[in-house]
Structure 1
């Protein structure tokens, strides 16, 4: 599914710092409780290694639909799931069981191949909202051993208003075993609160997606929007301009130096690596059928690798 987006003229930011202009913005395309903000075939080409972003927002009957997502494969990429509202329950032989809520994360480095989609279940909550992000992996990891982690909020690190989901922000190092050169933050600002994000050296890629509230980044950004900043290391200065504060995710990175070679559920750095990954997930799919019912007592189905 392609994502609509528009190029917009640069707008000065109301700050003494050099402004970081927005170059693209989108509201994506929705299907039920899920909105696709970015795909590898559109905005992912601009902000790679960030190549895919969904925001999900479910209440009432739509919560049941979230639990009906089918099992599906991945290779060559990592998925990062964070919540801005609600709780998800995980249960896996290698990880035990627990709860992912605001500030926690599910990290899945698919590498050579996995099948997943039901490894977490929705707890008894009235509202579930969050983001799923895909990261393209470097050549030395894209067909490597898969790695999955469930890290609860109490075990994550925070610097100021930002939970450091991936990477290192102002000396706060995430426990997520992600490749270097990537920062991904979950941020909550109080109404009227100002915050400046200073990217690390070399992080010329920068973007954010707003789940709740409103932001002023030199131009207004509303809930449901994703915006991409111009390619440079300048700070990103913003202010929560709504009455109830703002909740958003922000990414910065060293640019991914590879072309993206795309399969239905895979992202690789070369045609050969893609062929290897797709062959592996097809093989895993056959083994998954032979494995039979793998559902746990809580209704989850652990990642198959």
Structure 2
């Protein structure tokens, strides 16, 4: 069944348990698999609007082009290997398993070269886009680079965004969004109880095999029926790694640009105008740059 058919049949009738409404293995783009876009599954589980799973030789990061965003925040989580970061406002460091790059693009930003190859030959992780509310969608840029040791844990879960079991993520994300990274060994079970009001629920497996009780394999994303019930998940292979997200509904239409998501056409026009202005400054920077070192985030 197509995503469009699911969209047309996606209702909010009460359910007695959480079932999977949609499962996808996405579409491949070399080392990157696109699991969700704002025009498909993003319509179902907004404010979560985009998800990439990236995996391969770490050198693919060299081919990442500079690109713009507005109206969203991006969250990059490493699940295998490591990457270096270098940013004028945040210094230098290494992000490995459970480490996070958070960037609130707000009114406009260009980025893509602030991360570089670390010490590992291979790299794997997720990049998630979160649609921002009106008060933040054209606000100033806010970046954080958080090494693994800075990310709090509760049981097998790292709290990437939000609050889980009283543990607060250090990421400066809007309220009402949870995003966790979980690792389980074969036979282990884990129950996630969404906070009150979190009707959107989804997960994606990067390694191993997970029973929901429906099976979700490595490389797949699964979206649950909307509601507020808990889910109990069981790993069927050692080292099963997955991310899971829940959130309050994003009560706005999605105004879409090529790299932007806003709540209305006027906000989108403002964001794209800012992106164009920053792009002009970026081109001047490249004319004068010596080609050495990381390229800063342009805002």
Alpha carbons 1:214, 1:245 under 8 Å: kept:
no
Of 55, 60, 69, the match for 1:65: 60
Alpha carbons 1:5, 1:25 under 8 Å: kept:
no
Question: Which residue of structure 1 lines up, in the alignment, with residue 48 of structure 2?
Answer: 50
Question: Which residue of structure 2 lines up, in the alignment, with residue 286 of structure 1?
Answer: 280
Separation in 2 of the partners of 1:6 and 1:80?
Answer: 29
Superposition deviation, residue 5 in structure 1:
8.7
Question: Which residue of structure 2 lines up, in the alignment, with residue 30 of structure 1?
Answer: 28
Question: Which residue of structure 1 lines up, in the alignment, with residue 207 of structure 2?
Answer: 212
Superposition deviation, residue 164 in structure 1:
0.4
Separation in 1 of the partners of 2:289 and 2:69?
Answer: 19
Separation in 2 of the partners of 1:143 and 1:84?
Answer: 31
Separation in 1 of the partners of 2:251 and 2:151?
Answer: 29
Superposition deviation, residue 127 in structure 1:
1.4
Per the normalisation by structure 1, the TM-score is 0.91
Q: Give 1:82-231 correspondences, 5 Å limit.
A: 82-231=77-226
Superposition deviation, residue 103 in structure 1:
1.3
Superposition deviation, residue 296 in structure 1:
8.0
Query: Post-superposition, which runs of at least 4 consecutive aligned residues in structure 1 deviate over 2 A?
Result: 3-7, 63-66, 291-297
Superposition deviation, residue 302 in structure 1:
1.5
Separation in 2 of the partners of 1:249 and 1:21?
Answer: 17
Separation in 2 of the partners of 1:116 and 1:94?
Answer: 14
Alpha carbons 1:208, 1:228 under 8 Å: kept:
yes
Aligned residues: 289
1:213-247: CA deviation from partner (whole Å, max 9, x where unpaired) = 001101111111000001000001110012x2310
Q: RMSD between aligned alpha carbons? A: 1.7
Secondary structure of the residue aligned to 1:67 is helix
Separation in 1 of the partners of 2:101 and 2:111?
Answer: 12
2:275 aligned with 1:245: no
Alpha carbons 1:5, 1:24 under 8 Å: kept:
no
Separation in 2 of the partners of 1:256 and 1:65?
Answer: 34
Question: Which residue of structure 2 lines up, in the alignment, with residue 13 of structure 1?
Answer: none
How has the CA–CA distance of structure 1 residues 50 and 302 changed in structure 2, closer, same or farther, with 3 Å as cutoff?
Answer: same
Superposition deviation, residue 19 in structure 1:
3.2
Separation in 2 of the partners of 1:149 and 1:296?
Answer: 24
Separation in 1 of the partners of 2:290 and 2:70?
Answer: 23
Alpha carbons 1:57, 1:129 under 8 Å: kept:
yes
Structure 1: where are the runs of 5+ without partners?
Answer: 8-17
Separation in 2 of the partners of 1:107 and 1:4?
Answer: 28
Separation in 2 of the partners of 1:281 and 1:45?
Answer: 24
Per the normalisation by structure 2, the TM-score is 0.93
| The 10-residue stretch of structure 1 (185-194 or 284-293) with the greater mean CA deviation from structure 2 | 284-293
